[in-house]
Amino acid sequence: MALLAALTLFICAVLSVGLLRRRLYCQQGRTTKVPVSVIYHFTRRCNKTCGFCFYTATTSHIEDLSRQEALLLLAKAGMRKVNFAGGEAFLCPRVLGAMVNFCKFEL
C-alpha cells in the first residue's frame, strides 16, 4: 500500500514538472507538445488468468482523490481525450462510473 501511494505521488510530481515546463515554454513564446490523448489504467484487477495478458494482480487500490488529481493535472497539461483501461474495468463499476462522471462534468 505504501509503495502504491509513493508511486502515485511520484506520477503526480512528474506531471506537475511537465506542466511547469510547458508554462515556462509558453511564457517564452515557444510551443511544446502536449498529451492530447491519454490511456488511463486505473486498476490491475482481473478475474481471469489469461496467459497472454500482463494484468496479473488480483487486487489494486488507488485513492479516488489521487485519480481525480491526476486527471486534473493531465487536463491542465492539454489532454483532450481520456481512455480508461486496465484489468477488467467492470470489476470496479463504482470507480469506473465515478471516473466517467468526473471526466464528463469536471474536466
Our count of domains for the chain comes to 1
Q: Does the active-site annotation cover 12?
A: no
Those residues with Cβ within 8 angstroms of residue 100's Cβ, 6 or more apart along the chain or in another chain: 84
Q: Does the active-site annotation cover 50?
A: yes
Q: Does the active-site annotation cover 26?
A: no
Instruction: Please report the pLDDT score of residue 33 as a whole number.
Output: 66
Q: Which domain holds residue 8?
A: 2-106
Which of 12, 26, 53, 103 is flagged as catalytic?
53
Which of 12, 50, 92, 103 is flagged as catalytic?
50
CA distance 79 to 40: 12
For the stretch 31-61, pLDDT in tens is 656 667 887 776 666 777 777 776 655 555 5
